Amino acid sequence: METSEPAGLDTLYADAHILVFNKPSGLLSVPGRGDDKQDCLSARAQRAYPDALVVHRLDMSTSGLIVMARGIAMQRLLNAAFAGREVAKRYTAVVAGRPDGEHGQIDLPILVDWPNRPLRKIDWEHGKPSCTRWRVLETMDGSTRLELEPVTGRSHQLRVHLAAIGHPILGDALYAPATVQAMAGRLLLHASSLALQHPATGVARHWDCAAAF
């Protein structure tokens, strides 16, 4: 039985099979280690929708669209859709400087930086193939607003790729130099669009959620 939403939970869509939320920046997707890291999107979702199950995640500092499954059967179907790259995702980011051209593609292999976990790094020998497409949305003074499409779904992929080509995301405490970190009070990365085939009905569904920056 569904209950009223707890404070801080922004439900954009809900039916008997799936849920779509707008996660705020600064909120974990799932619980972390320690009592101070138990407040998270999945815990809030399960208080309102007890059968809500995690399918994918966003970094704590990233805001935007997350889909969750209602029940094990839907979780399996959605997990398969994500694994099969059948879910289309777009992000909005503000990066330092101005990339060359109006659009492009970043193909750089990513590997966990084991001595410095949770950081990732570019590693041509051992890294996993990783691809990000980008398109300029707006040019500003010293920065550029981009639309990003992660073709692959590596952890920290967008942040690592943009930093690697010399245009780190503003406010990125992990991969940007101090001067770029200081250009924003938070990571300016937002999951702004999500499209998939509904796992129960087969109908194509699409959600948009504009960035608040």
Nearest residue to 56 via CA among 38, 82, 19? 82
Share of the chain above pLDDT 70, in %: 97
pLDDT of residue 1 exceeding 50, the answer is: no
pLDDT in tens, 100-141: 999 999 999 999 999 999 999 999 999 999 999 999 999 999
The position carrying tokens 């499209």 is 195
CATH tag for 90-189 (out of 3.40.50.300, 3.30.2350.10, 2.120.10.30, 3.30.950.10): 3.30.2350.10
Amino acid letter for position 130: S
**Choice among 15, 35, 51, 59 that is catalytic:** 59
**CATH dotted code for 11-87:** 3.30.2350.10
Q: Is 134 left (phi over 0), alpha (psi -120 to 50) or beta?
A: beta
CATH topology of 11-87 equal to that of 90-189?
Answer: yes
Give me the residue spans of the domains in the chain: 11-87, 90-189
The pTM of this model reads 0.94
Neighbours of 194 (CB within 10 A): 22
Bridging pattern class, strands 18-23 and 88-96: unpaired
Active site residue 123: no
